[in-house]
Amino acid sequence: MNDRHPSSPNVHQVTAGVSSAPAALAVTFLLLGLGYAFPVPLWPDAEGSLSVKSAGTLNLYAVTAWLGLAHFFFAVTAQSRSFSRRYGSRAVAGFVGLLLLLWIVSYSARAALGAVWFDGLVWVYFIAHFVKAEHFFDRISLGPRPGALADDALPVAAFALLSVALIGRGLFLDREVWLLGLALLLAGVATLPQGWRRLLDPRRSTSFVLAMFLIGEALVWGNYARFMSPTFADGVYGFHVAAASFYHYARAYAVPLQRRAADPWPGLRDILLVNLAFVVIGWGIGLREKAGPMHPVWDPSWFTVWVLWHLLTSDLARWIPRLAGGRDRRAAAADPDAGRGGHGAERQAGR
């Protein structure tokens, strides 16, 4: 992204109609294998909901967590730079205050709910974020989608069903007909209101395909539950979480690389070096603290606190300019009466 002269054609124009999804899938598959097969432990201990993880699954979760922290670093940095550029220092100060408040909220929620319930609810919330982000990424290459809230709600409900089938698998033991009924209900809701027409529309098919995949997965693993040990079930669930996370990270990084914005940061080299640094630091802290207390930043068992913090930040940061009384400087420069609402800018800053 940094190797192109500013006067050269915009890559967003060159890549119009080209999706980053295949490249993101390739990165996802490679990271899944590397994370699971790494020959030495990346983190020494496990607690809470991580207590049933195998060594390979714990390594995979550690990589998911540390690459996630790098993803959050880029997201917060981009939001801060956007607020500074568009609205000034008051908006940046408000954003920093929001970050601190939301971390307290996230930590308190984990303390109140316990690790298992908290982790499960956070990953269901993450799927909602994942689906919204996919529509944003698709809009870059495919244009706006004529979608509805139901499109986004179906994958969330399907992932919740998969979570119960795997983590709360005892619920469906000897009650497989309940699972089948719920799965058919979701599938019916997805297909009856012109679902197949949505499948043929590339701007709306993401939610439909993801929902069907998760419904099928819930049926398979829910019926296999009687043969699964807790470690095996946790590993299957962990693979789903890791795959969704890696894919989301890769899709997000593709946006600045495709657009080639006037601001050259982050480039591909920046992305690779920052992610590598987070993994190396996490691994090093794990080696240093083998006999010490759990680290609230680098310990993978705390990762869902940071995930919730990121999700809440993404959903709520768009309100910062309004609360800070900010005005979009770029809109104001073009039109003195523009930018007072700032809806588009706030949505962009909240990504």
Per-residue pLDDT, averaged over 170-194, amounts to 78
pLDDT at 319 over 50: yes
DSSP 237-277: HHHHHHHHHHHHHHHHHHHHHHH--SS--S-HHHHHHHHHH
Q: What is the pLDDT of residue 34?
A: 93
pLDDT at 69 over 90: yes
Residue closest to 55 by CA, chosen among 38, 34, 30 = 38
Q: What is the pLDDT of residue 292?
A: 52
pLDDT at 12 over 50: no
Residue closest to 306 by CA, chosen among 102, 114, 57, 156 = 102
Structure tokens at 3: 């190797």
Q: What is the pLDDT of residue 267?
A: 87
Farthest CA pair distance, the chain: 67
Q: What is the pLDDT of residue 148?
A: 60
Q: What is the pLDDT of residue 347?
A: 40
pLDDT at 11 over 60: no
Q: At 312, is the pLDDT very low, low, confident or very high (cuts 50, 70, 90)?
A: very high
Q: What is the pLDDT of residue 339?
A: 35
Q: Domain coordinates of the chain in residue numbers?
A: 19-349
Q: What is the pLDDT of residue 107?
A: 93
Q: What angle do CA 163, 167, 171 make, to 5 degrees?
A: 95
Q: What is the pLDDT of residue 8?
A: 37
Q: At 325, is the pLDDT very low, low, confident or very high (cuts 50, 70, 90)?
A: low
Which of the pair, 149 or 177, is modelled with greater confidence?
A: 177
Low-confidence winner among 47-51, 160-164, 247-251, 256-260 (lowest mean pLDDT):
47-51
The mean predicted confidence, pLDDT, of the chain is: 78
Q: What is the pLDDT of residue 66?
A: 96
Low-confidence winner among 127-131, 161-165, 270-274, 331-335 (lowest mean pLDDT):
331-335
Low-confidence winner among 109-118, 173-182, 209-218 (lowest mean pLDDT):
173-182
Residue closest to 57 by CA, chosen among 68, 67, 48, 46 = 46
Q: What is the pLDDT of residue 146?
A: 58
* Distance of alpha carbon 199 from alpha carbon 196, whole angstroms: 5
- 3 state SS of 24: helix
> Whole-prediction pTM value?
0.81
Q: At 262, is the pLDDT very low, low, confident or very high (cuts 50, 70, 90)?
A: low
pLDDT at 110 over 90: yes
Which of the pair, 339 or 128, is modelled with greater confidence?
A: 128
Q: What is the pLDDT of residue 27?
A: 94
Per-residue pLDDT, averaged over 146-163, amounts to 77
